[in-house]
Amino acid sequence: MTEEEFWALISLLDREAIEVEPEDDEEDPVTEPLVKALVARGADAIKRFDDLLSGFLYELDGQAFVNHAGVCGEFEDLFLYCRCVAVASGREAYETILHDPTFMPTDLEFEPLASVAERAWRRLGQGEYRHEPSFSLEMRANQANWPD
């Protein structure tokens, strides 16, 4: 999977369903089209998507981004989910934020994106998802973006 394919998959997110409450953990209405597309592409594509997602989230792991994330910048999990908003907003928005952290989403979070690969994997019938993405999603993992 290329970066272009990754961003094309991200564009499948159903942003109009953002206010819809999911009936269960497996079928988030916003991410459902993305999950279905990953299942159709197979196991290798799911892992590659997860690797690319981890890389894009990792790039946004830094002090400059935390400073503009509002309350989400104060908590590790929320900061991850805020970074998910940046990726879910699409390539153009992501690149704008990457080059100008003042555009970082403030007090917004989108947790379901972080588990898309795992949900697609289970739906594919592959059992427990044991793939470790290429980059850590933990806050402060990208030490180059944090002051000493």
Give residue 28's pLDDT.
83
Residues 6 or more apart whose Cβ sits within 8 Å of residue 29: 14, 17, 20, 22
Q: For position 19, what pLDDT does the model report?
A: 60
Q: Cα(79)–Cα(98) distance, rounded to whole angstroms?
A: 15
pLDDT per position as a tens digit, 45-61: 999 999 999 999 999 99
Question: Residue 42's pLDDT is what?
Answer: 97
Give the Cα separation of 118 and 126 in Å (integer): 10
pTM of the model: 0.93
CB environment 102-140: b (16+ within 10 A), e (fewer): ebbbeebbbebbbbbbbbbbbebeeeebeeebebebebe
What digits encode the pLDDT tens for the residues 63-115? 999 999 999 999 999 999 999 999 999 999 999 999 999 999 998 889 999 99
Residue-wise pLDDT for 21-41, tens only, equals: 666 555 788 999 999 999 999
Q: What local confidence, expressed as pLDDT, does residue 24 receive?
A: 58
CA angle 2, 48, 87 (to 5 degrees): 75
Residue 133 has pLDDT above 60, yes or no: yes
